[in-house]
Amino acid sequence: MKRAHVFCLSIAIVAILILPFSSIVSAQEAAPAGDQVRIRKITPNSKVLTPEYQLVKGQVLSQTRNWFQVIVDYETAPEWMDDLTFTYYIVAESKTGKTKFNLFRGDVTYVNIQKGKHKSDMYLHPSTIARFGAVQRVGVVISSQGRVLAMESLPSTGSPRWWEQLTPLDGYALNRMQTPFAMMYFDDYEAIKPTTAK
């Protein structure tokens, strides 16, 4: 009888110790996604010149061309976040062909994001713009481990998930490490997670 009493008491103590931890976990899971990441501003720019690096003496610099660049200013609330994936949707109006609009999709994942204000960006190569036309609309979705935390588009009118109405083209939207802008304003951006070969 005494042994049974001690056993029941032990279970009660364990339950008391576990309960607060369970409550904390539940509270974190229930926290609104919008409280973790906030998009402050989306800035598109269709006339960003290729950066000029110091060339070896005797080399001739050819004429620079215009890239399309979109910068997203965002803010994070948690002290640290393991990763954030930005999926960009960029619509260009077709110059020729049966398709009136082309949707370019590109994503980039940042790691070890500390609480505070940050920047993210994405690019279209000058040849992509020349072939497919000028950019008309931009959207971005921020997620972490499959959970959507924030989304915005510019202009902000129309369906909030308008990109789902078009078939995306992958491989055209480039993150900064795939462009000559990789070393520009390096400290303004978080570390990009390398993509693994499939």
Q: pLDDT tens digits, residue range 166-182?
A: 999 999 999 999 999 99
CB within 8 Å of 132: residues ≥ 6 apart = 92, 94, 95, 102, 104
What pLDDT shows up at residue 159?
84
- As beta bridge partners, residue 71 has 43, 121
What pLDDT shows up at residue 57?
67
Statement: residue 21 has pLDDT above 60: no
The pTM (predicted TM-score) of the whole model is 0.79
Cα distances (angstroms) measured from residue 143 to each of 38, 147, 178: 11, 5, 21
What pLDDT shows up at residue 104?
98
What pLDDT shows up at residue 19?
35
Reported as a single tens digit per residue, the pLDDT across 39-71 is: 999 999 999 998 877 766 666 666 789 999 999
CB within 8 Å of 155: residues ≥ 6 apart = 137
pLDDT above 70 covers what percent of the chain?
A: 77
Least confident range from 53-57, 108-112, 153-157, 186-190: namely: 53-57
**Which of the pair, 21 or 127, is modelled with greater confidence?**
127
Q: What is the mean pLDDT of the chain?
A: 83
CA-to-CA distance for 107 and 173, rounded, in angstroms? 8
Return the domain boundaries, the chain.
32-52+64-192
What's the CATH number of domain 32-52+64-192, 3.40.630.30, 2.60.40.10, 1.10.730.10, 3.40.50.720? 2.60.40.10
